[in-house]
Amino acid sequence: MGSVKPPAQDWSSRAAPSLEDFEAMADAAFLRLPRHFRQACEGVVIRVEDFPDDELLEEFDATSEFELLGLFRGRGLAQSEGVHTGQFPNMIYLFRRPILDVWAEGEETLGDLIRHVLIHEIGHHFGLSDADMDRIEREAE
């Protein structure tokens, strides 16, 4: 029988990050974004949930609740013409369990993955290209 090599880190007593942990990581990632980017996000609410709801899964023709990592919902800056009566705030949703699933299978740190999804969803608010979002991610590192 071969020898058993101990893991580089002891994960045996660690629990998965909670919704509150994710919110704290998302807040920290947001604060590392370039200042002009954060200022243009005024009024955008970041919300963390375990999974997208059934209505959202149906809207996106998702075959699994693990397909969506995040979502921007609202009126992007390109469509905004002031606040309308009864208008909900622009929201960015981060879905904890699908993000954890991608993290568990990948090479990125959890913080980097949360930052990536956050920037991607904020990018929808701005109507940015993938190249623009990649540049912003590099500036946030």
pLDDT in tens, 72-130: 887 765 555 555 555 667 889 999 999 999 999 988 999 999 999 998 888 877 777 77
* DSSP conformation class of 48: E
In this prediction, residue 49 has a pLDDT band, given cuts at 50, 70 and 90, of: very high
Task: For residues 47-66, give the mean pLDDT.
Answer: 94
Instruction: Please name the residue that has the structure tokens 């980017």.
Output: 37
What's the pLDDT at 26? 94
Sign of the four-CA dihedral 95, 136, 106, 2: negative
Mean of pLDDT values over 26-52: 89
Helices assigned H by DSSP within 34-109: 35-39, 54-59, 96-105
**Confidence at 141, pLDDT banded by 50, 70, 90:** low
Per DSSP, the three-state class of 80 is: coil
User: What 8-state DSSP symbol labels residue 50?
Assistant: S
CA–CA gap between residue 73 and residue 14 (Å, rounded):
33
Q: Output the pLDDT for position 81.
A: 55
- Residue 84 is predicted with a pLDDT of 53
Choose the CATH number for 19-76+88-140 among 3.90.180.10, 2.60.120.330, 3.30.2010.20, 3.40.50.720.
Answer: 3.30.2010.20
Position 119 scores a pLDDT of 87
The mean pLDDT of 13-20, rounded to a whole number, is: 91
